[in-house]
Amino acid sequence: MRSGQTGPEMRFWYEVRAKRFQGVKFTRQVVIGAFIADFVARSHMLVVELDGDTHTDQARDARRTAWLEEQGYRVIRFANTDVMTNLEGVLQVLGDALVTRMDLIR
């Protein structure tokens, strides 16, 4: 686990921490199996990953996503650039995912 957060992680965390976003509790840097997820809403079985500009290991990401989905999680990914330049759009997608997950979990 990393001790420091990137700028996009800090910005995203500010929006979702302390149940600020739709009353949902998010946790950061969560160990799930052999992986560390950037952010997790356990109540909704939702993993949020923020991908950096140099994030190019798509095969590894696909394996990780497949494993997490086998465990019942949904994984959504946002580019760091989107968090920094289109946070409103990122939060809209996140909100839609939370509603969808809640409908599935009930």
Residue 89 predicted with pLDDT over 60: yes
For residue 56, report the phi and psi dihedrals to the nearest 5 degrees. Answer: -125, 0
**CATH code, 67:** 3.40.960.10
Q: How far apart are CA 14 and CA 21, in angstroms?
A: 10
- CA proximity to 11, closest of 83, 97, 106, 101: 83
| Percent of the chain surpassing pLDDT 90 | 78
Task: Give the count of domains, the chain.
Answer: 1
Q: Rounded CA gap, 89 and 82, in Å?
A: 8
Question: Please, how many CA atoms are within 13 Å of residue 15, restricted to the half-sphere of its CB?
Answer: 16
Please, which pLDDT band fits residue 59 given cuts at 50, 70 and 90? confident
State which H helix or E strand residue 38 sits in.
Answer: strand 35-41
The answer to whether the pTM exceeds 0.85 is: yes
Residue 2 maps to a domain: no
| pLDDT tens-place string over residues 18-53 | 999 999 999 999 999 999 999 999 999 999 999 986
Residue 91's domain spans which residues? 7-105
Q: Is the pLDDT of residue 1 over 60?
A: no
Task: Answer whether residue 1 is part of any domain.
Answer: no
53 versus 90: which is more confidently predicted?
90
Instruction: Give the CA angle between residues 18, 22, 69 to the nearest 5°.
Output: 90
In a domain, 23, yes or no: yes
Q: Does residue 95 belong to any structural domain of this protein?
A: yes
Position 52 in a domain: yes
Please tell me the distance from the alpha carbon of residue 99 to that of residue 21, in angstroms, as a whole number: 12
Res 2: pLDDT? 60
* pLDDT score at 101: 84
Residue type, 40: V
Chain mean pLDDT for the chain: 92
